[in-house]
Structure formats: structure tokens, C-alpha cells
């Protein structure tokens, strides 16, 4: 059974923002035991951007959303709601949505943060679309942002090389036709032990002991995550095509979460995707968690790889485990 919205809702504008500072694989090799060849061949990553100390998620999210608003010719005070997908909010509270609302002067909007790690943008996208489809909201902003450099242990080569910082934003509005055609989301909490941050939440609050034990950083069992990600991203992407009778030839662009080029290639193979139809930005920006898909969409549009009416599949997998996919017809 497909999940159809009550009326067509589409992405009518996109924006993005990255920190300025680029760290190449060779830069990382200066302070950890790694090398460019290992990182490129195992992950597809050549470089990433990391913020300067003191920059928070809202410092990237606000300019990304402002770019999307400018492209749409919309003022911030026209927005009804702002949903921010992130696992690295400026603070636990107030939410990053509150900070972005204030920075942009989105005086009529309310908003909230949504936590689903690398699947966060897709969960937020369909949540925002449902608000618009219900008719209770007209203009909803969805931002995926993460400052992964704030939660990676830069002495742990198995995780530190994988992640970058960034923000991508979209505007959702009712459209005459097309837009989001179908979606599916899953969680499997039994996978929580494979990708998590041990301390800092209510179960294990920050203390001198947790800091000394480096428990405020990402812990990952790479191969367990890899195996599950390969299987689920491939399956759910294929599900979007099959249950909507879309043939791989009709798919203009596949935009997967950018965690590892090998995971993405496996999903593309399962889709029987023609050459050049997968959007890739992991080489330049690494895994920016909630920001990978909205930034990839923005860049695809910029590069002329997306046009109005094109059929697109988005798919993601992340900590939780969480995963999901969206089938849409491009609306801007």
C-alpha cells in the first residue's frame, strides 16, 4: 500500500550552507594514523568541512534556509513552521528551530527539532509534507543540519574520517500535481548498540567521569552498520519503485544518504540504475548526517541534473537503526 498525501505537496526551493574550512584526507593524516588511499577506497571520501570552534547547528541552518527562501522569493515571516532534523543541536534546549526562527525573523512560525540521525531529513520531510497536505499549514521549512565535528573523537580513525559538517534546507508547499508521491520509514531499536553516543543524555548525564572516558563521542561498530545499511537502503529504494510501478529507466535521479560510496553503489545496483543517475557528494563533503540529502538535492538542481517533473528517489539509513525512502516528482 502506498502512503499518499491528502493533496500534492512538493519541494519548491532548496538552499545549503557549509563551513569554510576544508580538511583533506592528507590533513587528517597529519594528526591520526590514516591515509588518503584507505579513506578514498573504503568510503569514497576525499575531504570534508568542519566548523571553527563556537559555531553551532543554527549557524549553518539559518543561512541554508535563508538561501532557500531567497530562491523562492519568500520572506521568513511567511513561514508557518520550521522543522530541523539534527543530532547535534546547538543545545538540548532551546531547540535549534527556536534559534533559527529568531535568526531569520520567522515571526509567524513555530517549530521543533527532530532526532533520527542520518534518516532525520527524510522523517522531517514527510512530517512537514503531512502538515501542508492536511491544509493546516501552507509554507513549511525543513532543514537537515549536523555539526558532526562536535561529536567525533578525532583520535579515533575508524569514525573521525567519515563525517563532515553542513546544512541543507527545503521549502514545502502545496503544488498542482506531482510532489511527494509515496514514502516509507522504519526503525529497529535493536540496532541502537551499533551506533550511538554513550553519555550526555538523561540515562548517563555528563560528569567528569564520562568526559574522561570519552563517552560524548560517536561509537560505531562499522561492519554491523555497513551490512544492515547495504541491505535496507537497497530494499527500501527498490520498494519505492516496485509498489508505484516506476521502472528504473523512468528514474531521473537517485539521491541516497551519503554514508559510504560502497553502500550507495549497492543500493544503485539493486535499483538497476543507469550510469550517472545517482547523486554523489560524499567525495567532497563526507557524511554530514541529516544534511546529506538536502544538500545533494540543492547541488543536483544547481548542476542542472533535476528539472520540474523529474522522478526522484531519496533514501537514507542511520543510527537507531532508522531508515526510509521517498518517491517524488521534482517541483522547482
Ligand X SMILES: CC(C)(COP(=O)(O)OP(=O)(O)OC[C@H]1O[C@@H](n2cnc3c(N)ncnc32)[C@H](O)[C@@H]1OP(=O)(O)O)[C@@H](O)C(=O)NCCC(=O)NCCS
Select the span of 4-12, 103-111, 138-146, 220-228 touching ligand X (CB under 6 A). Answer: 220-228
Q: Determine how many CB atoms are found less than 10 A away from the CB of residue 150.
A: 17
Cβ at position 115, least distance to ligand X in Å: 14
Whether the CA torsion 43, 48, 52, 57 is positive or negative: it is negative
User: 293, 212 in Cβ contact below 8 A?
Assistant: no
Does position 226 bind ligand X by CB under 6 A?
yes
Cβ at position 42, least distance to ligand X in Å: 5
x/- contact string, 97-136, with ligand X (CB under 6 A)? ---------------------x------------------
Query: Which residues neighbour 315 within 8 Å (Cβ) at sequence distance 6 or greater?
Result: 122, 233, 236, 237, 240, 254, 255, 256, 257, 267, 323, 324, 325, 326
Q: Which is nearer to ligand X, 103 or 154 (by Cβ)?
A: 154
Catalytic residues: 118, 257, 287
Q: Which is nearer to ligand X, 265 or 310 (by Cβ)?
A: 265
Written as nine digits, the cell of 48 is 570534508
Query: Which residues neighbour 168 within 8 Å (Cβ) at sequence distance 6 or greater?
Result: 14, 15, 16, 64, 121, 143, 144, 145, 291, 292, 293, 294, 295, 296, 297, 298
User: Of 134, 127, 122, which is closest to residue 112 (Cα–Cα)?
Assistant: 127
> How many amino acids of this chain bind ligand X (CB under 6 A)?
20
Q: Is the peptide bond before 321 cis (omega within 30 degrees of 0)?
A: yes
By CB under 6 A, name the one of 38, 112, 186, 196 that touches ligand X.
Answer: 38
Does position 42 bind ligand X by CB under 6 A?
yes
User: 101, 130 in Cβ contact below 8 A?
Assistant: no
Within 313-332, which residues bind ligand X (CB under 6 A)?
A: 317-318
Q: Which is nearer to ligand X, 42 or 243 (by Cβ)?
A: 42
Q: In what order do the strands lie in the sheet with 179-187?
A: 179-187, 322-329, 311-318, 253-256
Cβ at position 310, least distance to ligand X in Å: 26
Whether the CA torsion 9, 110, 143, 215 is positive or negative: it is negative
Q: Which is nearer to ligand X, 101 or 119 (by Cβ)?
A: 119
Instruction: Return the DSSP state at 188.
Output: -
CA dist., res. 259 & res. 185, Å (int): 18
By CB under 6 A, name the one of 87, 225, 233, 253 that touches ligand X.
Answer: 225
Cβ at position 226, least distance to ligand X in Å: 4
Select the span of 3-11, 199-207, 222-230, 295-303 touching ligand X (CB under 6 A). Answer: 222-230
By CB under 6 A, name the one of 157, 204, 216, 231 that touches ligand X.
Answer: 157
Within 249-278, which residues bind ligand X (CB under 6 A)?
A: 259-260, 263
Angle at CA of residue 118, ends 18 and 281, nearest 5°:
45
Cβ at position 221, least distance to ligand X in Å: 8
Written as nine digits, the cell of 310 is 523529474
Does position 223 bind ligand X by CB under 6 A?
yes
Cβ at position 32, least distance to ligand X in Å: 7
CA count, 13 A, side-chain hemisphere, 8: 13
Does position 158 bind ligand X by CB under 6 A?
yes
Select the span of 35-43, 141-149, 200-208, 235-243 touching ligand X (CB under 6 A). Answer: 35-43
Does position 43 bind ligand X by CB under 6 A?
yes
Q: Footprint of ligand X on this chain (CB under 6 A)?
A: 34, 38-39, 42-43, 118, 157-158, 161, 222-223, 225-226, 229, 259-260, 263, 287, 317-318
Amino acid at each position: 500500500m502506498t502512503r499518499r498525501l491528502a493533496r500534492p505537496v512538493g519541494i519548491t526551493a532548496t538552499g545549503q550552507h557549509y563551513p569554510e574550512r576544508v580538511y583533506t584526507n592528507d590533513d587528517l593524516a597529519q594528526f591520526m594514523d590514516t591515509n588518503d588511499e584507505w579513506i578514498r577506497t573504503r568510503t569514497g571520501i576525499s575531504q570534508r568541512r568542519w566548523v571553527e570552534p563556537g559555531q553551532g547547528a543554527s549557524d549553518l541552518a539559518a543561512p541554508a534556509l535563508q538561501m532557500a527562501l531567497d530562491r523562492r522569493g519568500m520572506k521568513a515571516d511567511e513561514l508557518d513552521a520550521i522543522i530541523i532534523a539534527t543530532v547535534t543541536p546547538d543545545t538540548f534546549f532551546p531547540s535549534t528551530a527556536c534559534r533559527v526562527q529568531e535568526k531569520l525573523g520567522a515571526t509567524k512560525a513555530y517549530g521543533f527539532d527532530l532526532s533520527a540521525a542520518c534518516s532525520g531529513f527524510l522523517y522531517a520531510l514527510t512530517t512537514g509534507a503531512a502538515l501542508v497536505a492536511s491544509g493546516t499549514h501552507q509554507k513549511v521549512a525543513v532543514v537537515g543540519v549536523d555539526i558532526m565535528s562536535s561529536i567525533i573523537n578525532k583520535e579515533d580513525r575508524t569514525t573521525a574520517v567519515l563525517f563532515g559538517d553542513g546544512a541543507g534546507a527545503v521549502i514545502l508547499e502545496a503544488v498542482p500535481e506531482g510532489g511527494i508521491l509515496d514514502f516509507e520509514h522504519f526503525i529497529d531499536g535493536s540496532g541502537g548498540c551499533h551506533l550511538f553516543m554513550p553519555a550526555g543524555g538523561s540515562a548517563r548525564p555528563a560528569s567528569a567521569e564520562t568526559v574522561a572516558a570519552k563517552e560524548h563521542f560517536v561509537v560505531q561498530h562499522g561492519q554491523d552498520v555497513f551490512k544492515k545499511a547495504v541491505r535496507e537502503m537497497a530494499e527500501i529504494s527498490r520498494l519505492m519503485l516496485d509498489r508505484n510501478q516506476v521502472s528504473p529507466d523512468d528514474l531521473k535521479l537517485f539521491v541516497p544518504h551519503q554514508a559510504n560510496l560502497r553502500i550507495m553503489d549497492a543500493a544503485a545496483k539493486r535499483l538497476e540504475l543507469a550510469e550517472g543517475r545517482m547523486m554523489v557528494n560524499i567525495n567532497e563533503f563526507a557524511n554530514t548526517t541529516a544534511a546529506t540529502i538536502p544538500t545533494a538535492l540543492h547541488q543536483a538542481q544547481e548542476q542542472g541534473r533535476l528539472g520540474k517533473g523529474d522522478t526522484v528517489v531519496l533514501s537514507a539509513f542511520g543510527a537507531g537503526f532508522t531508515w526510509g525512502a521517498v518517491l517524488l516528482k521534482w517541483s522547482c
